[in-house]
Amino acid sequence: MMKHPLALFRYCPKCGSARFEVNDEKSHRCADCGFVYYFNPSAATVALIVDEEGRLLVCRRAKEPAKGTLDLPGGFLDLYETGEEGVAREVMEETGLQVQRADYLFSLPNTYLYSGFLVHTLDLFFRCSVKKTAPFRAMDDAAELFFLSPEEIHPEEFGLDSVRKGVERFLEQQMKKA
């Protein structure tokens, strides 16, 4: 079992005191200055991009965690960025495609192991329509991009838990439409 991420925080980020102690399961409190730090999830985005044939754009992860497994375009939000702006930026960075519209669908909690640190995320799923004439290619965190029809999609091939669950929801919705 992994340690709680707060276990790695040994000093108060406000005053630098080493008396930065467990306050409760979600926070640490500085015994010197009283600062309470709550460990909240980081926001991330996931893009569901479907072509005119009903196929889903998927990528193969180029980096850890889950390198080599299937994924969907997306990533962490930057400061002062909306979910819609973040998903559009991530899609552009990973695929070269320009998002014309991003419709929020749902969110799922996730954990993401980055450099030995367990990052808790809240993944925001968007259905994105992209500029049809734009060429696309795998870039940044994506090693490969391709479209899969719903029949070709196997959720167990997706390496990140929230993305796997999001793909399952996508498939359930596709079955309802059929």
Q: Is residue 138 located within the same domain as residue 154?
A: yes
CA nearest neighbour of 35 among 14, 19, 54: 14
Residue 28 sits in the same domain as residue 93: no
**34 phi, psi to nearest 5 deg:** 85, 0
Q: Print the domain residue range for 26.
A: 5-38
Q: Could you tell me if 92 and 167 lie in one domain?
A: yes
Whether residue 48 sits in one domain with residue 13: no
Q: Is the pLDDT of residue 101 over 60?
A: yes
Does residue 34 share a domain with residue 121?
no
pLDDT recorded at residue 173 = 85
Dump pLDDT digits (tens) for 31-69: 999 999 998 999 999 999 999 898 999 999 988 889 999
**Domain match, 98 and 25 both:** no
What CATH number corresponds to the domain at position 155? 3.90.79.10
Predicted TM-score (pTM) of this structure? 0.87
User: Which residue's entry shows tokens 């925001």?
Assistant: 124
Number of domains into which the chain is organized? 2
Q: Using one digit for the tens of pLDDT, what is the confidence trace for 65-93?
A: 899 999 999 999 999 999 999 999 999 99
